[in-house]
């Protein structure tokens, strides 16, 4: 095989890997806010955060009303996420939790949730449902916050911040 052909094949392989592994190219840029990607692969919260970290990002943190609108918009583009049921389809995991102290909500970057600039809860939340809801999410219709089980698998939204 000619050397040129080898390089071409390596290039094609790299492109394939970028597409299949969820590279930054699949993130969407929103001016003034950052890069976001809705993963429709269903994951538990901690597994989802690991996948965002592998993209050099983190589970999305909402800092404003307009950022909540962006996340809502991403969700609205996938009306039914494959593998979800009528309940889990309503939510996507984002970057906050109360894993350390019940009722004390922290972002994945360690700040208190009520200092992020967006702290609107969806009706009936947080309710620490069944005593196990310590992981954060967003409701697809309201764009507001919910507490969810950390073990249940959901779609999730990663964010790469503007540097
Ligand atoms: Ca809780
Ligand atoms: Ca809840």
Q: Compute the distance between CA of residue 23 and CA of residue 150 in angstroms, rounded to an integer.
A: 25
At 9 the pLDDT is: 67
**Cβ contact 149:35 at 8 Å:** no
**Domains of the chain from N-terminus onward:** 27-161 (3.10.100.10)
**Cβ contact 147:127 at 8 Å:** yes
How close is the Cα of 31 to the center of ligand 1, in Å?
33
Residues of the chain with pLDDT below 70 are 1, 3-25, 163
How close is the Cα of 125 to the center of ligand 2, in Å?
5
- DSSP for residue 115: G
Q: Compute the distance between CA of residue 134 and CA of residue 147 in angstroms, rounded to an integer.
A: 6
How close is the Cα of 146 to the center of ligand 1, in Å?
10
How close is the Cα of 95 to the center of ligand 1, in Å?
14
At 162 the pLDDT is: 77
How close is the Cα of 130 to the center of ligand 2, in Å?
9
């Amino acid at each position: 095989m000619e050397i040129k052909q080898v390089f071409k094949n390596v290039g094609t392989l790299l492109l394939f890997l970028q597409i299949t592994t969820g590279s930054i190219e699949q993130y969407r840029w929103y001016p003034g806010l950052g890069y976001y990607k809705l993963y429709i692969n269903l994951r538990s919260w901690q597994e989802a955060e690991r996948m965002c970290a592998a993209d050099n990002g983190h589970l999305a943190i909402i800092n404003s009303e307009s950022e909540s609108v962006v996340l809502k918009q991403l969700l609205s583009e996938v009306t039914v996420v494959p593998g979800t049921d009528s309940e889990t389809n309503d939510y996507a995991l984002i970057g906050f939790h109360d894993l350390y102290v019940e009722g004390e909500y922290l972002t994945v970057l360690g700040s208190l949730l009520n200092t992020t600039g967006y702290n609107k809860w969806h009706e009936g939340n947080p309710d620490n449902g069944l005593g196990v809801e310590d992981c954060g999410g967003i409701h697809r219709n309201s764009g507001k916050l919910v507490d969810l089980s950390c073990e249940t698998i959901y779609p999730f939204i990663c964010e790469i911040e503007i540097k």
